[in-house]
Amino acid sequence: MNEGRTWKGKVIFHVDMNSFYASVEKVYNPSLKHQPVAIAGNPKERRGIVVTASYEARARGVKTTMPVWEAREKCPDLIILPPDFEKYRAMSRQIFELLRSYSPLVEPVSIDEGYVDMTSYFPAQEIGQVAKGMQQKLLEQLGLPASIGIAPNKFLAKMASDMKKPLGITILRKRELPEKLWPLPVEEMHGVGKKSAQQLRRLGIHTIGDLATHSSTFLELRFGKKGRLWSERANGMDYRKVDPESVHEVKSVGNSTTLPYDVEDKEELKKVLKQLSEKVAKRLKEKEVCTDNIQLTIRYNDRRTITRSETLPDALMDARDIYNQAVSLFEQYWNEKGVRLLGVTALDVIPLSDASKQLDLFTYERENKEMKINKTISKLVDKYGDDIIRRGTIDER
- The set of catalytic residues is 113
Instruction: Give CB contacts under 8 A, 24+ apart, made by 59-68.
Output: 60/36, 62/36, 62/38, 68/40, 68/42, 68/43
Element containing residue 303 per DSSP (H, E): none
Residue partners of 170: CB distance under 8 A and separation at least 6: 147, 148, 149, 150, 160, 161, 163, 164
> Whose CA is closest to 57, among 75, 32, 42?
75
C-alpha 326/C-alpha 216 separation (Å) is: 44
C-alpha 16/C-alpha 18 separation (Å) is: 6
Q: Which residues pair with 152 in a beta bridge?
A: none
Find out whether 112 is annotated in a ligand binding site.
yes
Find out whether 348 is annotated in a ligand binding site.
no
C-alpha 129/C-alpha 122 separation (Å) is: 10
C-alpha 323/C-alpha 318 separation (Å) is: 9
Which 8-state DSSP code applies to residue 111? T
**296, 353 Cβ separation under 8 angstroms:** no
Residue partners of 197: CB distance under 8 A and separation at least 6: 185, 186, 187
Backbone angles phi, psi at 195, to 5 degrees: -65, -40
How far is the CA of 217 from the CAs of 4, 235, 236, in angstroms?
Answer: 37, 14, 17
SS3 178: helix
CA angle 124/130/133 to nearest 5° reads 170
Burial classification of residue 119, based on how many CB atoms lie within 10 Å of its CB (0-12 exposed, 13-18 middle, 19 or more buried)? middle
C-alpha 327/C-alpha 88 separation (Å) is: 34
> Could you tell me which residues are annotated as the binding site?
16, 112
**Binding site per annotation, positions for Mg(2+):** 16, 112
